[in-house]
Amino acid sequence: MKNKDIRKLISYSENGIVSKVIIKTDKLNVTLFCMAAGSDMDEHTSTKEGLVYVIEGKGIFNLQGKNIQMLPETLIHMEKSAVHSLKAEQNTSFILYLFS
């Protein structure tokens, strides 16, 4: 499928995180994440460079020790192997783009 209405794919679990792969090729992975209010992702790294685009909600994205507000239309760039974590203060959805 070439075109997708991302907003129609947004759904939240009661207390957790839902992820849906949108596009997966050899050079690009695009995943929709929907984090329920109060959920978090512990500190981790990625093996690829990435972009996070916030669709809705409010949260904190900690990148290399710096807190970044996750608000609608925020775009966050991550270098390969950058340490990061996330916390959703409200139901928060975002798209993660990973590049090879």
50: which residues sit within 8 A by CB, 6+ positions away? 77, 78, 96, 97, 98, 99
Dihedral-angle region of residue 65 (phi above 0 means left; psi in -120 to 50 means alpha; beta otherwise):
left
Q: What domains does the chain contain, in order, with CATH numbers? A: 6-99 (2.60.120.10)
Give 47-78 pLDDT, tens digit per residue: 999 999 999 999 999 999 999 999 999 999 99
Give 76-99 pLDDT, tens digit per residue: 999 999 999 999 999 999 999 999
Residue 31 contacts residue 4 (beta carbons within 8 Å): no
pTM of the model: 0.93
